Chain A
Amino acid sequence: MTVVAEVARSRELLGNLVQRELRGKYKRSTLGWAWSMINPLALALMYTFVFSFVFRAGSPVGAHGLKSFPLYLLIGLLPFNFLANGINGSMGALVANANLVKKVYFPREILIIAQVLSWDVSLLIEYGVLSVVLLVMGNLVIPFLPLVLLLIVAETLFVIGIGLALSVLNVYFRDVQHFVAIFLQLWLYATPIIYTYSFFRDHVLAVPVPGKVPTHHVWNHEWLLWLYKVNPMVGFSNSYHALMYNLRFPVWTDLVWPVVASFLTLAVGVRVFRKLEPRLAEEL
Chain B
Amino acid sequence: MELTKNITLGVYLPGKSFIHNLDPRTKIIAATIIIILLLLSRSYAAFAVSALFIGSLMVLSGIPTGYALRGLKPMLPVLVIMWIFQLFLFKEPGATIYFHWWIFEATEAGLHMGNLIILRVLFLFTVTTFLTLTTSVVSLTDGLESLLKPLRMIGLPSQELVMTLVIALRFVLILAEELEKIIKAQMARGVAFDRGNFIQKTRKIFPVFLPLFIGAFKRAEELIVAMDARSYTGGRGRTKMKTLHMGRVDLTAAAGMTAYSGLLIYIIIFTKPMI
Q: Do A and B come from one complex?
A: no
Residues of B at under 8 Å CB distance from A?
Answer: none
Residues of A at under 8 Å CB distance from B?
Answer: none
